[in-house]
């Protein structure tokens, strides 16, 4: 949660930052996978660990989903608060 300049609490900035970071993780994993050699015949340099990259992609996917749920919940809470105040 963060408190903005009007001292109102909102989970939206935190959720959006989490989504941004998850997208960066996916981008970095995609870049590493793009360097995957076409042939591993004796090649020992720049070998990509597919298991580690798969785990990284799954973790980023889960982080993105969790932060999207936080953003949705924050939006629903704000809507309910507006309904109460109106």
Whether residue 48 is predicted with pLDDT greater than 60 in this model: the reply is yes
CB atoms closer than 10 angstroms to residue 32: 15
pLDDT in tens, 59-79: 999 999 999 999 999 999 999
Question: What's the token pair of residue 6?
Answer: 């009007």
pLDDT, residue 3, reads 47
**Percentage of the chain exceeding pLDDT 70:** 79
0.85 surpassed by pTM: no
3-state secondary structure of 83: helix
Domain that holds residue 62: 2-85
Mean pLDDT in residue range 1-11: 57
**How confident is the prediction for the chain on average, in pLDDT?**
84
- Structural domains in the chain (count): 1
Q: 3-class DSSP state for residue 2?
A: strand
């Amino acid at each position: 949660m963060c408190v903005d300049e009007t001292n109102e609490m909102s989970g939206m900035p935190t959720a959006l930052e989490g989504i941004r970071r998850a997208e960066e993780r996916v981008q970095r994993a995609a870049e590493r996978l793009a360097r995957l050699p076409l042939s591993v015949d004796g090649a020992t340099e720049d070998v990509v660990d597919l298991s580690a990259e798969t785990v990284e992609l799954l973790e980023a996917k889960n982080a993105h989903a969790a932060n999207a749920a936080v953003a949705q919940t924050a939006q629903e809470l704000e809507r309910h608060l507006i309904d109460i105040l109106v």
